[in-house]
Chains A and B, each alone.
Chain A
């Protein structure tokens, strides 16, 4: 079977091995040329200058567990005792301290909702209902006032639950609004198009801080006397408007990437505008814009820290407030590292999830 061996020997031929082993890898990747070698040495030297003192400050000389601030200052390293003392205030803000189990459950509920939503098997209209019920529970447990739970006004909420509520509700409500704005901006109807362009350009052209100020200071001026709208709700509305304007432009980018032929094929089959939009155009457009959309999500999650200017105490503000305790003044590095890690955990999850979602959507389609 001469023919068989011919085919066999062709299929086992592999690319030649040019370098092998750790030494070969080092030579190929770190010391391939003289300037590459020089760069490697310089970077190693810089790392040597930075890493040991950092490790010393963070871990070796750090003061761990309970301890006084005098002990901390004597130790010379990071004062994790400060976090040990203050973490509950930073995470939960001014929520009554005997009731901290309530915001804990609220946080876990929100994280649970996010995990459920991230599973594509659960993507159905029911998910919307799950969210409404879930967020209802979150607000119920935070407000209380029923079943023997004491009522906690939202002026006392703070820290992580506030940050999560502001960003999750803000992004979830803004998203459908943004899709409508993006569709409206491409509408054939001049009035609708003008309204959408006007809204988007107006909101995008103004800093978020000024929108929050407007929501908290100016907006009540337009209300009839005696009518007041809750400060948290006002900030939330400001966020939704701002996020919607930005997301609308991201969605519009996706809509523009859909070839004209897709619209024509849908039209030719007799699909109505909303059938065409919801079944053909949006599924494709939204999967294209996952990376920039997650980019806006991450940036808005962090932008919630701006609510401090209207007197709401989100995670960032509670960390700053914790530093005003005269007994623990000056441990700002520890405080910022602590909340930085919390922010990072959420943002990193979003980023990894978006990467996973992109590959999983593309795998089934093989564009």
Chain B
């Protein structure tokens, strides 16, 4: 398996130079849910600053793959090393990794009993022991980045889906993560709100954030990803830079998937 070092960038065409620094390394990772083999021999190297889109049919293991990276799921075989820390049963290591890895969920998972601002400051205050005033300043900075600073005092239930997802992105960014994981961030949104969330993710990509995105938004993959990974039945079937991936898929399974997803 080769890690692709250069790739096209939708906004400024031409190869993008990535460093040699490895952010995430997965070596021979297997996972089972009971008897069901969800992940089969996953080998993946993610470099710092790389943006990866993971796609595939439902049940292919793509969500499980990224959930293993911050240990929301436990892998049973193989090695996962995030920013130099190996994920094992050791709680200390898990804590270290979770501090460095931000996650955005399909259903936002904002804390409904806290205001938008409190959602963003809770983890910095309690996990990183940042003083409250400083945490609030950081939170306001990121809420401005996702363009909803005026909603800071509201509760999540008072916001639209797109706004909630942007708050979720800001909440993750407030921890100053080195890697951001997105688990189908636009799948639960009404169509007219998908764009505002994707725009936020594009502008995040422009800052050089390392991103792993599980999504069906192929437009996003084409314009932002350095690499597209196609998964089926728990395996990485194919990975390539987006242009090659979409114009010249190699495996039959990829072709079938692309024809289904792009036909409508």
Contact surface of A with B, Cβ cutoff 8 Å: 259, 261-262, 264-272, 275, 279-280, 283-284, 287, 364-367
Contact = CB atoms under 8 A, between A and B. Distances in A.
Nearest to A274: B126
A271 B121 CA distance: 12
B72 interface: yes
Given A271-B122, A367-B112, 15 more contacts: A261-B107, A264-B103, A265-B110, A266-B111, A268-B98, A268-B103, A269-B122, A269-B171, A269-B172, A270-B99, A270-B175, A284-B112, A284-B113, A365-B113, A367-B157
Interface in B85-115: 95, 98-99, 101-103, 105, 107, 109-113
Contacts of A269: 98, 122-123, 127, 171-172, 175
SS class, residues of chain A in contact with chain B: helix
Interface in B214-256: none
Nearest to B99: A270
Given A261-B105, A268-B70, A365-B157, A287 B123 contact: no
Contacts of B126: 271, 275, 279
Contact of B72 (A262, A267, A367): A267
A270 B155 contact: no
Contacts of A280: 111, 122
Interface string B153-180: 0010110000000000001100100000
Contact of B105 (A265, A365, A366): A265
Contacts of A287: 113
A272 B129 CA distance: 13
A142 to B, nearest CB: 39
A275 B105 CA distance: 20
A279 B127 CA distance: 12
Given A269-B171, A366-B155, A275 B127 contact: yes
Contacts of B158: 366
A229 to B, nearest CB: 41
A280 to B, nearest CB: 6
Contacts of B105: 261, 264-265, 268
A267 B109 CA distance: 11
Contact of A270 (B95, B111, B112, B171): B95
A68 to B, nearest CB: 61
10 contacts: A264-B109, A266-B111, A268-B72, A268-B101, A268-B172, A269-B123, A270-B123, A271-B126, A279-B126, A365-B113
Which of A268, A271, A279, A287 has its CB near the most chain B CB atoms (within 10 A)?
A268
Q: Identify the 8 closest CB pairs spanning chains A and B, nearest first.
A: A265-B109, A269-B123, A270-B98, A261-B109, A268-B103, A270-B127, A366-B157, A270-B99
Nearest to A279: B122
A265 B104 CA distance: 8
B127 A265 contact: no
A271 B123 contact: yes
Contacts of A284: 111-113
Interface in B172-227: 172, 175
Given A261-B105, A365-B112, A267 B98 contact: yes
Nearest to B154: A366
B116 to A, nearest CB: 12
Contacts of A261: 105, 107, 109
A33 to B, nearest CB: 41
A283 to B, nearest CB: 5
Contacts of A266: 111
Contacts of A268: 70, 72, 98, 101-103, 105, 172
A364 B72 contact: no
B87 to A, nearest CB: 13
Contacts of A367: 112, 157
B160 to A, nearest CB: 13
A270 B85 CA distance: 15
A262 B112 CA distance: 9
Contacts of B107: 261
Contacts of B122: 269, 271, 279-280
Contacts of A270: 95, 98-99, 123, 127, 175
Given A261-B107, A269-B175, A365 B98 contact: no
B219 to A, nearest CB: 27
Nearest to B155: A365
Contacts of A283: 113
A367 B75 CA distance: 36
Contacts of B113: 283-284, 287, 365
Given A264-B105, A366-B157, A271 B110 contact: no
Nearest to A260: B109
Contacts of A264: 72, 103, 105, 109
A280 B126 CA distance: 12
A364 B156 CA distance: 11
A358 to B, nearest CB: 14
A266 B172 CA distance: 11
A268 B103 CA distance: 6
B96 to A, nearest CB: 9
A364 to B, nearest CB: 7
A336 B102 CA distance: 63
B73 to A, nearest CB: 10
B99 to A, nearest CB: 5
A152 B110 CA distance: 55
Contacts of B111: 262, 265-266, 280, 284
A279 B99 CA distance: 18
Contacts of B175: 269-270
